[in-house]
Amino acid sequence: MAVNPDHINAAFEAGAAILLSLNVWQLYHDKKVSGVKVSPTVFLTVWGGWNLYYYPSLGQDWSFFAGIAVVTVNAVWVSLAIFFNRKNRGGSAHVYALDERSKHMRDYLDLIEMSQRPPFPIQTRSIKASKGRAHIDDDG
């Protein structure tokens, strides 16, 4: 049997499924999502679902079966990520995303406020005049 593009693509899909399963194992072991976003893997899972329709239309049976493994592993990872996000944050992942946006907005507003401050402290002085004499008061 000769190797054709379907076999090569299936090998890449199978390799991806094996490597992605390492992410599933690590997430299950850590029981928290850290340093990554869930949305890219959701997108790749949906794309993999499309491939499950597309590969048979091309007659790529090997890629189809390897693609099932990729979609399954990605779906498991997404499910675990959503589960641990909710469990560790005591709410939904969506609420956490809003909290993160609020934090970033506060950081942004703090940065704007700091940029409007002069780079050095300004000392204010007032001049008081009494009985024809001027007197300078230091406030700071």
In this structure, is residue 77 part of a structural domain? yes
pLDDT (tens digit per residue) in 20-76: 999 999 999 999 998 889 999 999 999 999 999 999 999 999 999 999 999 999 999
In this structure, is residue 120 part of a structural domain? no
In this structure, is residue 135 part of a structural domain? no
pLDDT (tens digit per residue) in 90-129: 655 454 455 556 676 777 666 666 666 666 666 666 666 6
8 A C-beta contact, residue 63 and residue 52: no
Overall number of domains in the chain: 1
8 A C-beta contact, residue 76 and residue 24: yes
CATH number for the domain harbouring residue 72:
1.20.1280.290
- ∠ CA 87-91-93, rounded to 5°: 85
Read off the amino acid at residue 69.
Answer: A
Q: What is the pTM of this model?
A: 0.62
In this structure, is residue 102 part of a structural domain? no
